[in-house]
């Protein structure tokens, strides 16, 4: 269930988000998640609902959920 890759300096996790349908949606989700401490990159893809997050350490799923909620979408879970 967890799609998470760790290297010595970063952790990459893939989340499934419902409700994204356009580039603006992708930008909104990316902007909110980017504000979480330790996040260095975010790529949201509306067509698949996947959001890939690169961070310095594993993120708390509830913090990611809150960021996605703030953007107006729903975190389904990890892809």
The one-character DSSP state at 70 is: H
CATH of 4-78, one of 1.10.1040.10, 3.30.70.100, 3.40.50.720, 3.50.50.60: 3.30.70.100
Q: SS3 breakdown of the chain: % helix, strand, coil, rounded to 5?
A: 30, 35, 35
pTM: 0.89
| Per-domain boundaries in the chain | 4-78
Q: If 0-12 CB within 10 Å is exposed, 13-18 middle and 19+ buried, where does residue 77 land?
A: exposed
Beta bridge partners of residue 45, listed in sequence order: 50
Least Cα distance to 70 among 21, 23, 35 occurs for 35
pLDDT tens per residue, the chain (79 residues)? 346 666 678 999 999 999 999 999 999 999 999 999 999 999 999 999 999 999 999 999 999 999 999 999 999 999 8
């Amino acid at each position: 269930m967890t799609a998470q890759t760790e290297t010595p300096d970063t952790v990459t996790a893939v989340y499934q988000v419902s409700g994204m349908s356009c580039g603006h949606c992708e930008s909104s989700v990316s902007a909110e998640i980017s504000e979480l401490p330790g996040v260095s990159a975010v790529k949201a893809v509306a067509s698949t609902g996947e959001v890939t997050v690169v961070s310095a350490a594993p993120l708390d799923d509830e913090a990611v959920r809150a960021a996605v909620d703030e953007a107006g979408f729903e975190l389904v879970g990890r892809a």
